[in-house]
Amino acid sequence: MALAPTIVLFLASLALTLFAGWRGARPPDLRRGVRMVPWRLVMVLSAAVTFFALVHLAALGGLPTR
């Protein structure tokens, strides 16, 4: 994958990680009902994508992979 799509993927997954972390840290509001989105799971999965995109950016930047 080229540099530009990797940067876009990195920034989008980072934004999703931060947003899901904020939503998952909020206390439950039982008056509004149960949460339908598992925000903590979304946060962990998007953090994994962020990490892999960061590793890919480092490889594209010329860092050795070993």
Asked if residue 24 has pLDDT above 80, the reply is yes
How many Å apart are CA 18 and CA 35, to the nearest integer?
18
The pLDDT confidence band at residue 6, using thresholds 50, 70 and 90, is very high
pLDDT above 90 for 23: yes
C-alpha distances in Å from residue 30, one per residue of 26, 33, 34: 12, 5, 7
pLDDT in tens, 46-66: 999 999 999 999 999 999 877
Q: State yes or no: pLDDT of 28 exceeds 90.
A: no
What is the helix (H) or strand (E) element at residue 50, kind and residue range? helix 39-60
